[in-house]
């Protein structure tokens, strides 16, 4: 709404006495060039620059925009910069306190201002997702006819929280979370500049790092915590915001963790070893340390996927599925909600039965290959689909397993150099116990032994007709075939 006498008086007092305003308000940029981060939205000719009068007008005037991004990324700041830099009339509303009546009043006032003074109006509507469908509908005529240029801000996905007609009449600009460097530069500016703390305090590196962890990419949170820490230091007669003072002021202990040093690897190692040791409580502790320190959730998720194969394997085949699903979810949602998904995965992996047999098996096979134990592929296994392969003896003598009882052919598959060597030695833990039994039966059959094979009573299929380009026949679909495959692979 238009500022009244009391609002104007309050703004004048804040201008004369900076301490009357929060540090986050005082440090708001005054021009688009002062904005930290969001450079992808501030290029020359961008909608925001056109809103402040940098080119464009008439029939190609600036469009209404929807600003969508996490808290503290600069949505309100960008609107404030527009209000300071534009020669247009600027009106601010919050969907928390305003309704249709207030919106219509602004629109009517904008039409009068445009007609009487040829002055356009920019309407900033914060938290637009809090408006109902009917309330958002009230904006449509003004936006469509450009009676107002709308800048609407939301932290919610606008495709779910903003009506389609309003979306189609506006440009959707997505704000990205601020990087550590973005927040760091803002903190340095707040400590040094007169409108900030004016150099009254200093911020040691360890306290600055803690401040960045607290912020989590939220500029407003960083400045609020800085102001609290500076106030606590000055109250004690100190000019340095030490780590201890900052911890007291924000009531949040610093976590000893260096994402680029020993702590990063030590805590990550402790997490994986706790999962391997099935200590769910210790694993959750180390996960909490990583989360609290602001570790990249994708790094944690990657470690869990590795653990699922390296330490659990076939003892619980669902462990890898859980870890992969957690990684996908984490990539989509990020912190703080990702902590729940990571906790879910850590608990599941910690309490799962353990086996490193698959890991040992592939490493043993790799070891032999690196030693040169490879050798040529047996002739009957070589590709026989191309013309002339039969003259080379390729495929000769190959037995098609699906033509045989139990779908297992007693023939040599490995090269001579490693024929008879065993890499996979399954444990008897969890689901791998069944794999162990299946592996023993299959190996016995492959050696030509008389061990019972799965579904041995199954009748063999007819051999394929000669002259069919050497391709195996189409698999016959039968319930017995499916059952035999189930038992052979050990899957439920």
DSSP, collapsed to helix, strand or coil, labels residue 202 as strand
pLDDT at 342 (0 to 100): 93
Using CA atoms, how far residue 26 sits from 187, 189, 207, in Å, is 13, 11, 22
Round to whole Å and give the CA distance between 256 and 82.
Answer: 41
DSSP 261-277: SHHHHHHHHHHHHHHHT
Q: Which residues pair with 89 in a beta bridge?
A: 121
Rounded mean pLDDT for each run of 10 residues along the chain, 492 residues in total: 48 54 82 80 78 58 80 81 76 87 89 78 89 90 87 88 90 84 89 87 86 79 87 87 82 52 74 89 87 81 92 89 91 81 91 88 85 79 74 77 77 79 82 81 74 41 40 40 37 35
Which pLDDT does position 128 carry in this prediction? 92
Distance CA(241)–CA(260), nearest Å, equals: 24
Distance CA 138, CA 98 (A): 12
In whole angstroms, how large is the CA radius of gyration of the chain?
A: 34
pLDDT at site 466: 39
Q: Could you report the per-residue pLDDT of 110-124, keeping only the tens digit for each?
A: 888 877 777 788 888
pLDDT value of residue 57:
53
- The DSSP code sequence of 73-140 is SSHHHHHHHHHHH-SSEEEEEETTT--HHHHHHHHHHHHHHHHHH---EEEEEETGGGS-HHHHHTTH
- Burial of 371 per CB tally in 10 Å (0-12, 13-18, 19+): exposed
State the maximum Cα–Cα separation within the chain, in Å, rounded to a whole number. Answer: 101
DSSP conformational letter for 312: I
pLDDT of residue 454: 43
CB 469 within 8 A of CB 383: no
Calculate the alpha carbon distances from 475 to 398, 407, 457 in Å. Answer: 17, 11, 18
Point out which residues pair with 153 in neighbouring strands.
67
* Secondary-structure percent of the chain, ordered helix, strand, coil, rounded to 5: 55, 5, 40
Q: Which candidate, 74, 66, 73, 120, places its Cα nearest to that of 95?
A: 66
Provide the pLDDT for residue 252: 59
Do residues 250 and 225 make contact, with C-beta atoms less than 8 angstroms apart?
Answer: yes
Q: What is the pLDDT of residues 350-389, one digit of tens each?
A: 989 888 888 888 888 888 888 888 778 777 777 777 777 7
Hey, what are 228's tokens? 């609290």
Question: Tokens 């601010």 sit at which residue?
Answer: 92
pLDDT of residue 468: 40
* Rounded Cα–Cα distance for residues 159 and 49 (Å): 25
Instruction: Note whether 256 and 295 are within 8 A (CB).
Output: no
Looking at residue 55, what is its pLDDT? Answer: 53
Residue 93, beta-bridge partner list = 125
């Amino acid at each position: 709404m238009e500022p009244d006498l009391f609002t104007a008086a309050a703004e004048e007092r804040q201008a004369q006495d900076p301490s009357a305003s929060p540090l986050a308000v005082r440090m708001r940029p005054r021009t688009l060039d002062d904005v930290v981060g969001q450079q992808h939205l501030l290029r020359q000719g961008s909608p925001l620059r056109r809103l402040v009068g940098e080119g464009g007008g008439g029939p190609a005037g600036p469009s209404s925009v929807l600003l969508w991004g996490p808290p503290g990324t600069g949505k309100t700041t960008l609107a404030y910069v527009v209000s300071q830099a534009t020669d247009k009339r600027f009106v601010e509303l919050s969907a928390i306190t305003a309704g249709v009546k207030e919106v219509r009043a602004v629109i009517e006032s904008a039409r009068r201002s445009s007609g009487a003074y040829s002055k356009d109006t920019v309407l900033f509507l914060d938290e637009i997702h809090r408006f109902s469908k009917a309330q958002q509908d009230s904006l449509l005529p003004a936006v469509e006819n450009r009676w107002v240029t709308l800048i609407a801000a939301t932290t919610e996905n606008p495709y779910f929280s903003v009506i389609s007609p309003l979306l189609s009449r506006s440009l959707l600009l997505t704000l990205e979370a601020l990087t550590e460097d973005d927040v760091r530069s803002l903190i340095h500016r707040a400590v040094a500049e007169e409108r900030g703390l004016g150099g009254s305090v200093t911020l040691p590196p360890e306290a600055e790092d803690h401040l960045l962890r607290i912020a989590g990419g939220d500029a407003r949170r960083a400045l609020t915590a800085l102001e609290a820490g500076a106030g606590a230091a000055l109250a004690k007669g100190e000019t340095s915001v030490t780590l201890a003072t900052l911890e007291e002021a924000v009531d949040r202990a610093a976590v000893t963790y260096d994402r680029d040093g020993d702590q990063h690897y030590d805590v990550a190692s402790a997490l994986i070893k706790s999962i391997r040791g099935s200590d769910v409580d210790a694993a959750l502790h180390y996960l909490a340390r990583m989360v609290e320190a602001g570790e990249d959730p994708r790094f944690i998720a990657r470690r869990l996927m590795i653990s699922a194969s390296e330490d659990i394997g076939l003892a619980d085949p669902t462990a890898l599925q859980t870890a992969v699903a957690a990684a996908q979810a984490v990539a989509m949602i990020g912190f703080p909600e990702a902590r729940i998904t990571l906790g879910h995965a850590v608990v599941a992996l910690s309490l799962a039965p353990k086996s490193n047999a698959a890991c040992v098996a592939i490493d043993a096979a790799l070891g032999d290959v690196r030693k040169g134990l490879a050798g040529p592929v047996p002739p009957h296994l070589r590709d026989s689909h191309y013309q002339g392969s039969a003259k080379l003896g390729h495929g000769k003598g190959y037995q098609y397993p699906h033509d045989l009882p139990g779908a297992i052919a007693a023939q040599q598959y490995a090269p001579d150099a490693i024929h008879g060597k065993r890499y996979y030695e399954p444990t008897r833990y969890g689901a791998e116990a069944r794999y162990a039994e299946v592996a023993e039966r299959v190996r016995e059959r492959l050696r030509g032994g008389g061990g019972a094979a799965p579904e041995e009573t199954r009748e063999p299929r007819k051999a394929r007709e000669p002259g069919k380009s050497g391709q195996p026949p189409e698999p016959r679909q039968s319930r017995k075939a499916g059952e035999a495959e189930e038992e052979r692979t050990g899957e439920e």
